[in-house]
Amino acid sequence: MAVASKRKRKHIYNDETYYWYVRKNGDGKTRIHIISADKKIAIESPLFDTEVPVTGAYINKLIEEQR
């Protein structure tokens, strides 16, 4: 089953598709969520700074750390 892409941003890294979004978790802390298109990789990470925009390089760094 595919990932619902509504309200998510698409990111391609090493020819693999990922979707990411920023949301508060149950504790009220802002987190970035990254999900692979096949749902094999799911990352939830705190943001470095909520005032700084999330870039493709930052998404790549989080995916690389998970591998």
Decide: 18 and 37 in contact? Cβ < 8 Å: yes
Which sign, positive or negative, has the C-alpha torsion 11, 21, 34, 6? Answer: negative
pLDDT at residue 10 is higher than 80: yes
Domain residue limits, the chain: 9-66
CA atoms within a 13 Å half-sphere pointing along the CA-CB vector of 13 = 23
How does pLDDT run across 15-61, given as a tens digit for each residue? 999 999 999 888 888 899 999 999 999 999 988 777 778 889 999 99
Residue 43 pLDDT: 93
Residue 5 pLDDT: 79
Mean pLDDT of the region 4-12: 90
Give the global pTM: 0.85
